[in-house]
Amino acid sequence: MGSVHDLPVIDFSSSGTTEWNSVKSQVQEALEEFGCFKALFNKIPQDQLQATYKAVEELFDLPVQTKMLNYSPYPTHGYLGRLPAAPLYESLGFENAIIPEEAEKLTNILWPQGNPNFSKTIQAFSVSVSELEQLVKTMIVQSLGLEKYKDEIMNSTNYLLKVVKYDVPKTGEKNIGMVSHEDRNLMTILHQNNDGLEIQTKTGEWIRVKTSPDSFFVLTGESLEAWTNGRVQPAPHRVMMTGSSEPRYSIALFSFFKAGYKFQAPEELVDKEHPLLYKPFDFGEFLSFSGSQMRSISNITLKTYCGL
Ligand SMILES: O=C(O)CCC(=O)C(=O)O
Ligand SMILES: [Fe+2]
């Protein structure tokens, strides 16, 4: 792990029991201190990664009216763009993108004649990143001594693949790509083609995440804070388009508890020093009620919604 001024970097490329235990404790330490870390994960070949970025560029090249067909009943899970607070930002979301039929169904809305290459590419990418998400989740439940909840957690998780494009700011335009916020889901695993993502540490310092082809940035969200009864807290993050000469793309897999699954922190994490922070809640209902997947953008906090 790096110095106080660096974000932790954790290598997931080797396997074996010794490595597993070492990586597991690095994960827990990083999450408790920063709520995030950079994962070196080489299970996605470079040509697959390049094909995914190519597919994403093709998607953003579609006319705005077409992109707007990407609708989700959940706020911020479908097409978003031209927002006054984020004029450089545009995103689309693919719910359950790890399931081939779902990826295809959403693809066919955008390309009624079909685009099997696109749906297969984003589905394969989502599956690979979901494997990393499941490794991290397994390590968290093991570190907390809560492995008995692992299957329930795994079976209650859904995934959304969100792809984002940030335009280069024009002269005189603000360079904020996305304002500071924390995510509300369980975990977000993000790959970027150019630097731009910045993380705020607990001491208030902003750190810019360095891009490399095999690095995936793991951020935890408010739902994990609730499930761990405050042990892991999400880090504020933002995107600054500083010194860019070309658009920036990021591809992020969001995991969250399925709508209809009411959850609360396991009783093992509740005691005198750690009183229960939140009443049981359903993430789908909370998302609909709060109006945004991003804390700090919506005025409704989890504390006001179901805090104790
Ligand atoms: O594009 C990025 O790097 C950040 C995206 C993000 O934070 C989000 O969609 O919640
Ligand atoms: Fe975020």
Q: Does residue 239 line the site of ligand 1, with CB under 6 A? A: yes
Supply the CATH number for residue 198's domain: 2.60.120.330
Judged against a pLDDT cut of 60, whether residue 3 lies above it is answered with no
List the residue whose alpha carbon is closest to atom 8 of ligand 1.
183
Q: Does residue 140 line the site of ligand 1, with CB under 6 A? A: no
Per-residue pLDDT reduced to its tens digit, 189-244: 999 999 999 999 999 999 999 988 899 999 999 999 999 999 999 999 999 998 77
Which atom, in ligand 1's list, is nearest to the CA of 166?
Answer: 1
The residue to mutate among 94, 163, 178, having the most atoms of ligand 1 within 8 angstroms of its beta carbon, is 178
Question: Residue 4: which pLDDT band, with cuts at 50, 70 and 90?
Answer: very low
Give the integer Cα–Cα distance in Å for 116 and 99. 14
Q: Where do we find the tokens 């024009």?
A: 170
Distance, CA of 227 to chain centre:
17
- The DSSP result for 192-260, as a single string, is ESSS-EEEE-TTS-EEEPPP-TTEEEEEE-HHHHHHTTTSS-PPPEEEE--S-SS-EEEEEEEEEEPTT
Q: DSSP letter at 167?
A: P
User: How many domains, in total, are found in the chain?
Assistant: 1
Output the CA–CA distances (angstroms, integers) from residue 73 to 93, 139, 165, in the order listed.
12, 32, 22
Q: Which of 207, 60, 6, 215 is nearest to 129 (CA)?
A: 215
Give the integer Cα–Cα distance in Å for 212 and 151. 33
**What is the phi/psi pair of residue 206, to 5°?**
-95, 130
Give the integer Cα–Cα distance in Å for 281 and 265. 10
> Whole domain around residue 300: which residue ranges?
3-306
Q: Which of 284, 63, 81, 286 is nearest to 163 (CA)?
A: 81
Tokens of 197: 């993502």
Per-residue pLDDT reduced to its tens digit, 122-165: 999 999 999 999 999 999 999 999 999 999 999 999 999 999 99
pLDDT more than 90, % of the chain: 83
- Predicted model pTM: 0.95
What pLDDT score was predicted for residue 2? 39
Reported residue count of the chain is 308
Amino acid in the structure at residue 37: F
Judged against a pLDDT cut of 80, whether residue 296 lies above it is answered with no
Which atom, in ligand 1's list, is nearest to the CA of 91?
Answer: 9
- Asked if ipTM goes beyond 0.90, one says yes
Q: How many whole angstroms from 181 Cα to the centroid of ligand 2?
A: 6
Q: Does residue 164 line the site of ligand 1, with CB under 6 A? A: yes
Give the integer Cα–Cα distance in Å for 114 and 84. 33
Which atom, in ligand 1's list, is nearest to the CA of 248?
Answer: 1
Q: How many whole angstroms from 121 Cα to the centroid of ligand 1?
A: 21
Which atom, in ligand 1's list, is nearest to the CA of 294?
Answer: 10
Q: How many whole angstroms from 75 Cα to the centroid of ligand 1?
A: 15
Q: Does residue 248 line the site of ligand 1, with CB under 6 A? A: no
pLDDT more than 70, % of the chain: 98
List the residue whose alpha carbon is closest to atom 1 of ligand 1.
250
Give the integer Cα–Cα distance in Å for 263 and 149. 12
Task: Check: CB of residue 256 under 8 Å from CB of residue 283.
Answer: yes
Give the integer Cα–Cα distance in Å for 101 and 87. 33
Per-residue pLDDT reduced to its tens digit, 58-89: 999 999 999 999 999 888 899 999 888 889 99
